Amino acid sequence: MKEAIGDRFHAVLVDNGVMRLNECQTVKKQLGDHLGINLKVVDASDKFLDRLKGVTDPEKKRKIIGNTFIEVFESEAAKIDLENKESGHGNIEYLLQGTLYPDVIESISFKGPSATIKTHHNVGGLTKNMKLKLIEPLRELFKDEVRELGKILSIDEDLIWRHPFPGPGIAIRILGEVTPSQVAIVRAADHIFIEEIKKAGLYRKISQAYAALLPVKAVGVMGDKRTYEQVIALRAVETTDFMTADWFPFPYDVLKRISNRIINEVKGVNRVVYDVSSKPPATIEWE
């Protein structure tokens, strides 16, 4: 899009407060270094976290996040319109987003609302009332096809092979209420998990991996003291289309290293479990 319309393209990343550790800065740097895109990071974390207070239902979380994204994008577009007015340029008319085919399939219910698997933050009803018109060039492609396209466009390998990350972010990986302290726990655990996967040379073999925080406490022992802390669930899957997926058969020594590091380094966690469920019947995200 930048090559097609140059300065009329404005790249905006909304920080929703539920991104991974250092994610916004990393993405800004990658897009700047590799594609020469000046990404504007809009910090709307307070707004998102405020609206998520007390919410535990997965679909409610998804809808709140989807609607808030639209609100923030529209307000950013209005700001750019104001600047454009002064320089004699036109208004922002379109929102470009990277919706993929699986997002569309899972969000649309063919048999009534109860048949919707999950409302993806970027699809369907959520964008119905938006003033901006949508451009979704990847809407009919699966992830492997998007990667092929990326190669044709000579996009940097690291960007092409990044694991997907859902729009609702770690809000749907914190089961139960999303609070700043829960966000901090899951961020720290997730960071260790991905770091160890990369160190073991497994990042590209795995299609998607992340840590989730369960809303339960378990008893443990640290030194000679009883602990009563939370549980981290690790999820790693292999898939090509993300419509079906198999759990990844980790070498035991890698799992052992990851679990030791998480329990020793992340305060508030005393137990790590590995999710051995395939999709279907489980889904890739826990919510």
Strands 40-43 and 12-15: parallel
Min dist CB 88 to ligand XMP, Å, is: 36
Q: Total residues contacting ligand XMP (rule CB under 6 A)?
A: 18
CB of 240 to ligand XMP, least distance (A): 12
CB-CB neighbours of 250 under 10 Å: 18
User: Does the CA dihedral 41-45-46-51 come out positive or negative?
Assistant: positive
Confirm or reject binding of residue 191 to ligand XMP (CB under 6 A).
no
Q: How many Å apart are CA 119 and CA 104, to the nearest integer? A: 9
Please identify, using beta-carbon distances, which residue of 52 and 263 lies nearer to ligand XMP.
Answer: 52
**CA atoms of 270 and 183, how far apart (whole Å):** 17
The single residue among 68, 122, 182, 230 that binds ligand XMP, judged by CB under 6 A, is: 122
Is 106 a binding residue for ligand XMP by CB under 6 A? The answer is: yes
Q: Give Cα 74 to chain centroid, integer Å.
A: 21
Interaction pattern, residues 231-250, with ligand XMP; x per rule: CB under 6 A: -----------x--------
Of the residues 15, 156, 241, 285, which one makes contact with ligand XMP according to CB under 6 A: 285
**Which of 31/169 has CB closer to ligand XMP?**
169
Applying CB under 6 A, the span of 114-122, 124-132, 222-230, 265-273 interacting with ligand XMP comes to 114-122
The values of phi and psi at residue 103, to 5°, are -60, -40
Instruction: Name the residue type at position 14.
Output: V
Quote the distance between the C-alpha of residue 254 and its chain's center: 24
* Distance in Å, CB of 124 to ligand XMP, minimum: 11
Q: Select from 103, 190, 196, 229 the one that contacts ligand XMP (CB under 6 A).
A: 103
Is residue 58 close enough to count as binding ligand XMP by CB under 6 A? no
Per CB under 6 A, does 102 bind ligand XMP?
yes
Closest approach of ligand XMP to the CB of residue 114, in Å:
16
Contacting ligand XMP within 129-158 (CB under 6 A): none
Locate 158 and state its tokens: 């690291």
* CB closer to ligand XMP out of 10 and 118: 118
Under rule CB under 6 A, residue 169 binds ligand XMP: no
Going by DSSP bridges, is the β-strand pair 225-238/246-247 parallel, antiparallel, or unpaired?
A: antiparallel
List contacts with ligand XMP (CB under 6 A): 62, 102-103, 106, 118, 120-122, 164, 166-168, 208, 242, 279, 283-285
